[in-house]
Amino acid sequence: MKMRKKTSLLLILFFASLSFLPADSFAEPVEILRFEPGDTLEEIRAKIEYNGYEFTVDNNWVFDMQAEEKRELFSRSAPLFPQMLDGYDGVSPLTRRLGERPLPSSFDWRDYNGHSYIGPIRDQGNCGACYAFGACAAAEGAYNWANGKYDGNCADFSEAFVAFCLSDHYSGFDGCYGSDYDYQELSGLVNYGVCNNAVYPYTDYEQACQSSSWDAPRTTFQSWHRIGCNDTEAIKTAIMTYGVVDAAVYVVSGFEAYSGGIYQDSNTSCYSSPCYYTPTNHIIALVGWDDNGGNGYWILRNSWGTSWGESGYMRIKYTSARVACEAAYLVYQAVVSTIYVDPSGSCNGNTPCYSTIQAAIDPADTESVIRILQGTFNEDIIMDRAYDSTLSGGWDPTFTTQSSNTVINSLTITSTSGTVAIENVILQ
């Protein structure tokens, strides 16, 4: 049977290639071969080569699942009662940030200013709760960025609480049985919040809510919002401004077996109405991007453990697998009056603590006080929006910054009395 199937594929490739050849010359193919359910690794590799893709595949626990098991795992589906909301409150703060700050050619929350603002890869196991992992990844990224938490101090929220407790209050997601396209799990993070993973650790089987987890402290979020379909610049801006982004993909055989390289497939359009109801079957998170000289890709964070892909991550072309059709972000409003800066990262135990001035300025808002340890900081600082905050030398608030967009080429804290000297201020 395997021999006959392989021979059939080779014949398909042969005749497909002939169909693209004009009578008088060779030509590039105008169509590509799609990945299909039941593809063998040999068939996937043949399609990758034929289509000119640049990624590799291999056996892994997801690819090796039985078809019925995959149907249970890939359980994201259209809602029975569509809400068709643009976001939690319909007003996206992202709109005023678009074009406000130049986007770098690459960005990665796993390594921002030498620190990681997202924890280790998770594994959802045989439970269709990918939506809980995507939501918690976005929540952790937003919370960490807003509060200056990185490396070993990153938040670790409970996917189990989302899947098995918050689901009791919503119809759009249900434990191991998946979720729909309305992102009600994000509404749950806004309305009820989420406890830490230490309170309710995740196990990959259907279960009743651990009721005691409701008594633990919970972190709530201000709002969540959708990002325009296939709007690469908006998704980049959301990642860089608010943190890790929640997103959905349409998984096919090539995606399942991915082992490295830049993933690509033919599922690139957001064709439904509304566009964010284009069929997808799995939730992931986006932690960054790389324009890669015109062959740009997202850095996709999966929830299938570190044995899948590139240590649990995937580099995926900007529109492949419908990855940019249904992205959404969370807003965490940090209740912060004072922010501390110390190159050592200690700040004498004061929080939130950042190791650079730029990292402290980015989440600051009007009336925030940024207290900077005495010393010289050799960094270019971009104040990317107009607001009045206070920079103070030696952690003594006596200096107010300009409220216009400013690039500061050097900032020297000259004494513990709060005297601040600014050199080479360039107004833009």
Q: Which residues pair with 283 in a beta bridge?
A: 248
Tokens found for residue 221: 């979020």
Q: Which residues pair with 314 in a beta bridge?
A: 300
Per-residue pLDDT at 86 = 54
Per-residue pLDDT at 215 = 95
> Is residue 381 within 8 Å of residue 358, measured between CB atoms?
yes
Identified catalytic residue from 51, 115, 130, 347: 130
> Is residue 172 within 8 Å of residue 208, measured between CB atoms?
no
130 flagged as catalytic: yes
**Per-domain boundaries in the chain:** 2-57, 67-331, 338-427
> Is residue 213 within 8 Å of residue 206, measured between CB atoms?
no
Integer Cα distance of 25 and 226 in angstroms = 47
Tokens found for residue 393: 């030398």
Question: Could you list the mean pLDDT of each consecutive 10-residue stretch along the chain, which spans 428 residues?
Answer: 36 37 43 95 98 98 96 92 63 84 94 96 98 98 93 96 97 96 96 97 97 96 94 97 97 98 98 95 98 97 98 98 97 75 84 85 71 77 61 58 51 51 44
Per-residue pLDDT at 371 = 83
126 flagged as catalytic: no
Beta strands in 85-241 (DSSP E): 106-108, 223-226
Contacts of 417 by beta carbon, 8 Å cutoff, 6+ apart: 393, 394, 396, 398
Identified catalytic residue from 144, 230, 270, 282: 282
Q: Read off φ and ψ for residue 202, nearest 5 degrees.
A: -85, 135
Q: Which CATH class is domain 67-331?
A: alpha beta
270 flagged as catalytic: no
Counting Cα atoms < 13 Å in the Cβ hemisphere of 307 gives: 9
Per-residue pLDDT at 83 = 77
Per-residue pLDDT at 26 = 42
Identified catalytic residue from 147, 302, 347, 353: 302
Per-residue pLDDT at 416 = 47
> Is residue 407 within 8 Å of residue 382, measured between CB atoms?
yes
